[in-house]
DNA sequence: CTTGACTCTGGTCTATACTCCAGACTTTAT
DNA sequence: ATAAAGTCTGGAGTATAGACCAGAGTCAAG
């Protein structure tokens, strides 16, 4: 059984973050010492690695929470359920991606039109473009 | 001169948002009535359109703030300054874009490996992948 | 037996961009 | 004159993911 500091070191997550995850129902230490110190077991470590993996592929803590529930009740859930969850997330990410590409394009358009020179920016096309009420 | 509600209607920004922008130094009504009502002039309307345009191309309010300062002091600033600002933002957006693409790819990899069937998810490759400590 | 390192709880703070609310005025319309 | 609609200020709440801090208790080593 590990104390919180040891677990923090092994996982690279801060003690505060671990307590934060606990507060939000992502993980609960298997036991406590008489004095109240958290004690984490091997399965707790596995759970942490699950959380980390899920975070790495872009799930929010809230989503990790839902994933953990799928995991725990996986005999009552189907692959369909799990895949649907992931596919939904892909849709969201994709949407966000499209928006950001648009933004990048707009910025590039602004940038290329500007001479970038040393003269005062009174004639700057960027500032000019932002000033025009475009609708 | 427009009262806040009229300006809100013309710009599509809520009254609360207008007051919020004011609190953060993005805009100040040209005048106030004796009773304290905000009064916006034509130049205030232009400023709002500047803010809107900048927001549309992805600048945060903080960045819009900096842009407005460039705008106001444009005779003391060069095109170089302005372009640099925009190019910096492009870099940031681009970085974010790369990260999101990675995430999307990871999610897709997870998704295609899952059968998506009706059977219990005890064998699900997605849950399996998240459970393996990948480093 | 006393440091120093660790842990506990509960609370505040950060950035982002607002929204919503209450209680009190003011203005407009009937 | 009265009611409805608009405005004022200040403050709280929302989601995200923790960081940091204080005051107090605990544990190991010298
Ligand atoms: Zn120029
Ligand atoms: Zn320019
Ligand atoms: Zn399957
Ligand atoms: Zn599956």
Establish if A64 belongs to a structural domain: no
Distances (CA, A) of A66 to A15, A61, A100, A116, B27: 23, 9, 27, 49, 43
Nearest ligand to the CA of A85 is 4
Whether A91 and A130 share a structural domain = yes
* pLDDT value of position B10: 95
pLDDT at B122 over 60: yes
Question: Which residues of A spanning 74-133 put their CB closer than 7 angstroms to strand D?
Answer: none
Instruction: Specify the pTM.
Output: 0.89
The answer to the question of residue A99 being in a domain is yes
Q: State whether B71 and A117 contact (CB < 8 Å).
A: no
| Contact between B40 and B8 (Cβ < 8 Å) | no
Q: How confident is the model at residue B43 (pLDDT cuts 50, 70, 90)?
A: very high
Domain count across chain A:
2
Based on the domain organization, do B109 and B79 belong to the same domain?
Answer: yes
pLDDT band at B103 (very low <50, low <70, confident <90, very high): very high
Same domain, B53 and B90: no
Q: Which of the nucleotides in strand C have any atom less than 7 Å away from a protein CB atom?
A: 6-9, 15-21, 25-27
Do the domain assignments include residue B64?
A: no
Q: At which of A59, A88, A104 does a domain end?
A: A59
| B100, part of any domain | yes
Please count the CA atoms within 13 angstroms of the CA of A72 that sit on its side-chain side.
Answer: 11
Query: Has residue B1 been placed in a domain?
Result: yes
Residue at B102 is within a domain: yes
> Does residue B65 lie within any of the structural domains?
no
Nearest ligand atom owner, CA of A81: 4
pLDDT greater than 80 at residue A134: no
Chain B residues whose beta carbon lies within 8 Å of the beta carbon of residue A55: none
| pLDDT on residue B133 | 59
* B126, A83 Cβ separation under 8 angstroms: yes
Mean pLDDT of chain A, nearest integer? 95
Residue B116 with chain A: CB contacts under 8 Å: 79-80, 83-84
Rounded distance from Cα B42 to ligand 2 centre (Å): 25
Residue A39 falls inside a structural domain: yes
For residue B132, name the pLDDT band (cuts at 50, 70, 90). Answer: confident
Assess whether pLDDT exceeds 90 at residue B42: yes
Cβ atoms of A53 and A93 closer than 8 Å: no
| The last residue of a domain, from among B13, B32, B59 | B59
Q: Which pLDDT tens digit goes with each residue over B2-38?
A: 999 999 999 999 999 999 999 999 999 999 999 999 9
Would the Cβ of A4 be found within 7 angstroms of any atom in strand C? yes
Tell me the residue range of the domain where B115 lies. 70-135
């Amino acid at each position: 059984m590990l104390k919180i500091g040891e677990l923090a070191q092994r996982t690279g997550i801060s003690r505060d973050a671990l307590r934060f995850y606990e507060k939000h129902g992502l993980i609960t230490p298997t036991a406590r010492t008489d004095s109240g110190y958290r004690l984490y077991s091997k399965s707790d470590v596995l759970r942490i690695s699950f959380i980390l993996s899920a975070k790495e592929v872009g799930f929010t803590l809230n989503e990790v929470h839902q994933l953990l529930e799928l995991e725990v009740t996986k005999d009552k859930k189907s692959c369909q359920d799990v895949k649907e969850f992931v596919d939904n997330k892909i849709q969201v990410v994709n949407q966000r991606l499209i928006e950001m590409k648009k933004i990048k394009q707009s910025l590039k358009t602004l940038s290329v039109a500007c001479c970038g020179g040393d003269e005062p920016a009174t004639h700057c096309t960027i500032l000019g473009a932002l000033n025009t009420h475009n609708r």
